[in-house]
A and B are shown apart, each in its own frame.
Chain A
């Protein structure tokens, strides 16, 4: 459900980027902005989960690279 917020402002570069991204995706600036913030929130949750559950666990870099390949990121 969308929540109406009126108290935020963007700096010029951020606003220009948002306009370009919205035009490119043919979507409203609000929905593009919402996606960007939602992604930042997910990344922050991943950090929290890794901090909470991964502390003291030896995570193999080889295994991380293997997953990066599977995700098409390496």
Chain B
């Protein structure tokens, strides 16, 4: 048992020693925050990686409205809560028009991430993928 724990600790140290500072930021959709609340191991691995690499996390305001129900306040503080500016709202609307989509919150996630060339992490990679077809500078990753 002690050996097992020791091995786990040394593997964790090894991972922390390979982590440099993140060169790419990440934008979360509500699926990631819900997964974190539900203690999903994959989402927690992502949060740990962000902690280790000091990655910049952006959570668009619409995502907060979709997810926040008054618990787990620490999750509100893990990244930058991005207000919905008129410009961002317009870009999201254009994305909906281009893709004939209807989910305004998803569209703001893509439009927000595109401003920074971010990685988008989502619970539903298909939906966001459809919205991002005309956006070249974002990458979409689903949670495993």
Q: Which residues of A contact B (CB under 8 A)?
A: 39, 41-43, 45-50, 52-54, 57-61, 63-68, 70-74
Whether B47 pairs with A46 at a CB distance below 8 angstroms is yes
- Smallest CB separation, A34 vs chain B (Å): 13
Q: Which residues of B contact A (CB under 8 A)?
A: 11-12, 14-15, 18-24, 26, 36-37, 39, 41-42, 44-55, 57, 72, 74-80, 119, 139, 141, 144
* Distance of A28 Cα from B122 Cα, bound (Å): 36
- Smallest CB separation, A61 vs chain B (Å): 5
Whether A67 pairs with B57 at a CB distance below 8 angstroms is no
- Smallest CB separation, B127 vs chain A (Å): 20
Q: From A41, A46, A58, give the contact of B51 (CB < 8 A).
A: A46
The binding surface of chain A is classed by DSSP as: helix
Q: Which A-B residue pairs are the 4 nearest by beta carbons? A: A72-B23, A73-B53, A45-B77, A67-B49
Whether A72 pairs with B44 at a CB distance below 8 angstroms is no
- Smallest CB separation, B52 vs chain A (Å): 7
Given A46-B78, A74-B18, residue A68 in contact with residue B36 (CB < 8 A) = no
* Distance of A43 Cα from B53 Cα, bound (Å): 10
